[in-house]
């Protein structure tokens, strides 16, 4: 279905419903919104807020420190997605660790970690497995592959989170006054639309699944504003090209086979019940924590770091005293600035989506 | 990290596929999808196909429809 | 030199007879330059007029890529730097740093390529140096070229010369070289065949000038891409720049690679594409002239404005395809290594 941008833009500008605060919970949406200047296509009464949609940003620093520690052990190969390299944690960063001589390898697919482990059977391989539901099935598939190939030298240091519980927590938080949610299109490819209906049933906030082109985002916002205006609590799918109501059953089955929900802490947000994924008993042997006898320790955020408040949508990046002073992309204090999809990084690069004319 | 891109399936060998996007070729795992054939389009994320798309759906995502009205100033 | 010698040894860089043999039996013949007595310095003779001087090093991998190679790149890259400063390239130096064990055959091929490029451009390689480092000391082969040119466009284009009202003209599609090299390298598991845009841009610049178009500023779009080149101008000239997204020429293959990597074409390097600022109203004619000398995709892609409020030191913005105006982030320098 083609989108008529001109008419859509005019309709958005003409929105005269109640003031609306819309939260998106996907780092790729954060970037697309900044890159297309979407905020400017909206009237002043509609505000876009970034939520905790960046898996790199919400990964607990203690996990990064464990990755650094393991990378420093003799013979270990630490495989990671590229966006985790510069994340600052108590023990430093993986890129610093690599510069110091550790064997840290960037991969773009969890299947590569399996290949590395196969090619170097005498060396322990640890894959730092960070992501939301878009990535978790791929990781689950790699874990299953490892089991089938009997790779005893491969383990996974997981930091996996699920979106609907976070939405429930945010929608029920009285401090964060939201009118509705833009839902992450590719997470939804996996989980479908139904989990959001359950998560939002208490708060009654409407939500719309959105794709990632400018047209997709505008259409989804238009739909969401229509729902808000009519005081609807509906959850709708504006990305039917890729998202089915029931999601990807095969991916969901794989997830259920390898992982099980558990309470997990989100950097800056605290523990959100049943919002994490940990290994089922059948696959526990692949948990890096058990295999290498390490524990994730709590780490206090650096002084003055307000990533937590930013991630929860309580403050804008500019309201953090460190923003663009002590904390910049070149010298980030917290993960919101270092991740290419982080809220503060997007704000810094794109001027908060607003330009003075 | 929701970055996922449409790509066309060129070859299939079991659960391994070679896919192509505008001349860029890379490999994709098919563990998460069903019934993929050569010539199909898939949505690729972290080296895995997470959805099968029709050609029309893929092209719309890639914004290859020039009919998409660009807005004026 | 033993005709059967295949590999560079440390002795070839030692300054003795082996070096002498390498220069006379491989380097000079491969470059295609006249064999004359070698002095310690080259005499440039009497040159009147303003001169321009530039230098650049080339560490690209792979050394052979669709559309060019290290040798051709080393000459054209430096010649382009002169051309965008308004100078016709006259003389080049060529310094080699070679890893022990490097194939002499490959070295000869790359030097031939360099010699050929310099002949096409009409400049001479007249001085050079060769060093050999022990195996493992570097990856294969690095080139450095310095170039002297005669300034032929006056006033010379300058990064400080951009003024509000100017139009920005790009000579062709952007980001192609970096995309071609990444695909050739199979970076991120992505392979493909795309030709680099590697080409000498001098004819474009000098044609503009010869047609009476004043070029206020010009840059070839290398590392950091279009965004970096425009930020240099915006900051040095203290102006604002507004690009129009739908007018920027990008090949589908480059766009596809950018989508896969989550980056934008204006952050990616070319090696045969330049941006020029001309007076307001001249942009259309400039494009016609460029197209007439082979730059078929030349396009006006933006305008220069007074410095934006809150960004006195220079800022680049983009009018997106949905008609919104947003900042173009300056590249932070996390570009791919060894693309030029």
A92: region left, alpha or beta (phi > 0 left; psi from -120 to 50 alpha): left
Q: What is the mean pLDDT of chain C?
A: 94
User: Could you tell me the CATH number of the domain that includes residue B16?
Assistant: 2.30.30.140
Distance (Å) from the C-alpha of residue C303 to the closest C-alpha of chain B? Answer: 14
For residue A117, CA distances in Å to A66, A109, A155 come to 19, 13, 9
Domain count, chain B: 1
ipTM score assigned to the predicted complex: 0.94
Say whether A111 and B29 touch across the interface (CB within 8 A). Answer: yes
Question: Residue A2 pLDDT > 50, yes or no?
Answer: no
Distance (Å) from the C-alpha of residue C311 to the closest C-alpha of chain A? Answer: 9
Interface test with C, best of A31, A36, A107 (most C CBs within 10 A): A36
pLDDT tier at C333 (50, 70, 90 boundaries)?
low
- DSSP 3-state of A211: coil
**Given this model, what pLDDT does residue C2 score?**
62
A13 close to C (CB below 8 A) = no
Alpha-carbon gap, residue A108 to A77, rounded angstroms: 15
Say whether B23 and C190 touch across the interface (CB within 8 A). Answer: no
Q: Which of A107-116, B42-51, C253-262 has the lowest mean pLDDT?
A: C253-262
Q: Note the pLDDT tens digit of each residue in C39-69.
A: 888 888 888 889 999 999 999 999 999 999 9
Q: Are A72 and A351 in contact (CB under 8 A)?
A: no
Average pLDDT over residues A211-229: 96
Write phi, then psi, for A37 (nearest 5 degrees): 65, 35
Give the residue carrying structure tokens 């985790």. Answer: A84
Domain ranges of chain A: 13-54+165-237, 56-162+247-291, 307-347
Interface test with A, best of C240, C257, C327, C330 (most A CBs within 10 A): C327
Show residues of chain A in contact with C329, CB under 8 Å: 349-350
Q: Note the pLDDT tens digit of each residue in C184-230.
A: 999 889 999 999 999 999 999 999 999 999 999 999 999 899 999 99
Alpha-carbon gap, residue A322 to A300, rounded angstroms: 16
Say whether C327 and A349 touch across the interface (CB within 8 A). Answer: yes
Does domain C10-151 bear CATH number 3.30.1330.10? yes
Write phi, then psi, for B19 (nearest 5 degrees): -125, 160
List the single residue in B with minimal CA-CA distance to A54: B1
Provide the whole-model pTM. 0.92
pLDDT tier at A330 (50, 70, 90 boundaries)?
confident
CATH homologous superfamily for the domain A13-54+165-237: HypD, alpha/beta domain 1 (3.40.50.11750)
**Given this model, what pLDDT does residue A268 score?**
76
Parent domain of B28: 5-61
Q: What is the DSSP string of A148-206?
A: HTT-TTEEEEEEEE-HHHHHHHHHT-TTS--SEEEEEHHHHHHH-SHHHHHHTTTT---
CB atoms within 10 A of CB B17: 23
Token pair listed for A198: 């359950």
Domain ranges of chain C: 10-151, 167-327
Say whether A186 and B70 touch across the interface (CB within 8 A). Answer: no
* Identical topology for domains A13-54+165-237 and A56-162+247-291: yes
Q: Note the pLDDT tens digit of each residue in A272-320.
A: 999 999 999 999 999 999 999 999 999 888 889 998 899 888 899 999 9
A128: region left, alpha or beta (phi > 0 left; psi from -120 to 50 alpha): beta
Alpha-carbon gap, residue C68 to C196, rounded angstroms: 7
pLDDT tier at A332 (50, 70, 90 boundaries)?
confident
Distance (Å) from the C-alpha of residue A164 to the closest C-alpha of chain C? Answer: 25
Residues 6+ apart with CB under 8 A from C39: none
Distance (Å) from the C-alpha of residue B3 to the closest C-alpha of chain C? Answer: 7
Alpha-carbon gap, residue A89 to A264, rounded angstroms: 18
Residues 6+ apart with CB under 8 A from A11: A222
Topology (CATH) of A56-162+247-291 = Rossmann fold (3.40.50)
Locate the DSSP E strands across chain A.
20-24, 46-50, 77-81, 103-107, 125-131, 154-161, 180-184, 207-210, 235-237, 259-266, 270-279
Distance (Å) from the C-alpha of residue C181 to the closest C-alpha of chain A? Answer: 19
**Given this model, what pLDDT does residue B70 score?**
32
B interface residues, A as partner, C-beta within 8 Å: 1-4, 29, 31-34, 43, 45-48, 50-51, 53, 57, 60-61, 63, 65, 67-72
Topology (CATH) of C167-327 = Phosphoribosyl-aminoimidazole Synthetase; Chain A, domain 2 (3.90.650)
Average pLDDT over residues A210-235: 96
């Amino acid at each position: 279905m083609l989108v008529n941008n001109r008419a859509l833009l005019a309709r958005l500008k003409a929105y005269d419903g109640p003031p609306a605060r819309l939260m998106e919970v996907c780092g790729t949406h954060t970037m697309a919104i900044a890159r297309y200047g979407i905020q400017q296509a909206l009237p002043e009464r509609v505000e876009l807020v970034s939520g905790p949609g960046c898996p790199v940003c919400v990964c607990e620093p203690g996990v990064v420190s464990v990755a650094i520690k393991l990378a420093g052990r003799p013979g270990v190969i630490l495989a990671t997605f590229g966006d985790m390299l510069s994340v600052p944690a108590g023990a430093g960063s993986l890129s610093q660790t690599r510069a110091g001589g550790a064997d840290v390898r960037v991969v773009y697919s969890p299947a590569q970690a399996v290949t590395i482990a196969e090619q170097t059977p005498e060396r322990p391989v640890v894959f730092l497995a960070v992501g939301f539901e878009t990535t978790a099935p791929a990781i689950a598939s790699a874990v299953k592959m490892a089991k089938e190939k009997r790779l005893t030298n491969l383990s996974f240091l997981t930091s996996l989170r699920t979106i609907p519980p976070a939405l429930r927590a945010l929608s029920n938080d009285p401090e964060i006054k939201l009118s509705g949610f833009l839902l992450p299109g590719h997470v939804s490819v996996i989980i479908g639309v139904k989990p959001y209906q359950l998560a939002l049933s208490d708060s009654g906030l409407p939500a719309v699944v959105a794709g990632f082109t400018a047209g997709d985002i505008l259409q989804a916002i238009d739909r969401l504003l229509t729902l808000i205006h009519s005081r609807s609590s509906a959850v709708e799918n504006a990305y039917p090209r890729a998202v089915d109501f029931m999601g990807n059953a095969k991916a969901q089955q794989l997830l259920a086979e390898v992982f099980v929900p558990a309470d997990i802490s989100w950097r800056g947000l605290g523990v959100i019940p049943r919002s994490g994924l940990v290994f089922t008993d059948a696959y526990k042997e692949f948990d890096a924590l058990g295999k290498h006898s390490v524990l994730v320790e709590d780490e206090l955020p650096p002084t003055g770091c307000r990533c937590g408040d930013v991630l929860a949508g309580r403050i804008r990046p500019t309201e953090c005293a460190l923003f663009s002073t002590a904390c910049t992309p070149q010298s980030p204090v917290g993960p919101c600035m270092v991740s290419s999809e982080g809220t503060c990084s997007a704000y810094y690069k794109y001027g908060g989506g607003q330009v003075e004319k | 990290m929701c970055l996922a891109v449409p790509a066309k399936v060129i070859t299939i060998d079991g659960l391994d596929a070679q896919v192509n996007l505008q001349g860029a070729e890379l490999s994709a795992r098919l563990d998460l999808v069903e019934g993929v054939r050569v010539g199909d389009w898939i949505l690729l994320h972290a080296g895995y196909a997470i959805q099968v798309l029709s050609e029309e759906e893929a092209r719309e995502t890639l914004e290859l429809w020039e009919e998409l009205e660009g807005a004026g100033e | 030199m033993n005709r059967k010698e295949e590999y560079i040894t440390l002795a070839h860089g030692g300054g003795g007879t082996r070096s002498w043999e390498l220069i006379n039996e491989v380097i000079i013949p491969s470059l295609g330059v006249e064999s004359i007595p070698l002095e310690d310095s080259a005499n440039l003779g009497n040159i009147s007029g303003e001169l321009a001087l530039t230098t650049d090093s080339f560490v690209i991998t792979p050394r052979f890529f669709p559309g060019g190679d290290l040798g051709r790149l080393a000459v054209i890259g430096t010649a382009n730097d002169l051309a965008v400063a308004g100078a016709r390239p006259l003389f080049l130096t060529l310094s080699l740093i070679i890893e022990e064990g490097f194939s002499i055959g490959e070295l000869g091929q790359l030097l031939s390529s360099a010699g050929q490029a310099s002949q096409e451009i009409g400049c001479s390689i007249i001085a050079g140096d060769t060093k050999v480092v022990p195996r493992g000391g570097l990856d294969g082969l690095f080139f450095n070229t310095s170039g002297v040119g005669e300034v032929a466009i006056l006033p010379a284009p300058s990064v400080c010369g951009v003024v509000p009202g100017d139009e920005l003209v790009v000579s062709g599609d952007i980001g192609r070289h970096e995309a071609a090299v990444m695909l050739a390298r199979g970076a991120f598991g992505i392979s493909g065949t795309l030709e680099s845009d590697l080409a000498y841009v001098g004819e474009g610049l000098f044609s503009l000038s010869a047609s009476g178009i004043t070029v206020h500023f010009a840059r070839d779009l290398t590392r950091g891409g279009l965004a970096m080149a425009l930020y240099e101008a915006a900051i040095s000239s203290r102006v604002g720049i507004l690009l129009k997204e739908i007018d920027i020429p990008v090949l589908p293959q480059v766009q596809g690679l950018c989508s896969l990597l989550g980056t934008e074409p204006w952050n990616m390097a070319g090696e045969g594409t330049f941006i020029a600022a001309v007076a307001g109203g001249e942009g259309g004619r400039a494009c016609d002239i460029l197209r007439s000398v082979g730059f078929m995709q030349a396009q006006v892609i933006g305008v220069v404005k007074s410095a934006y409020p809150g960004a006195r030191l220079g800022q680049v913005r983009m009018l997106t395809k949905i008609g919104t105006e947003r900042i173009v982030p300056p590249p932070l320098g996390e570009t791919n290594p060894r693309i030029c």
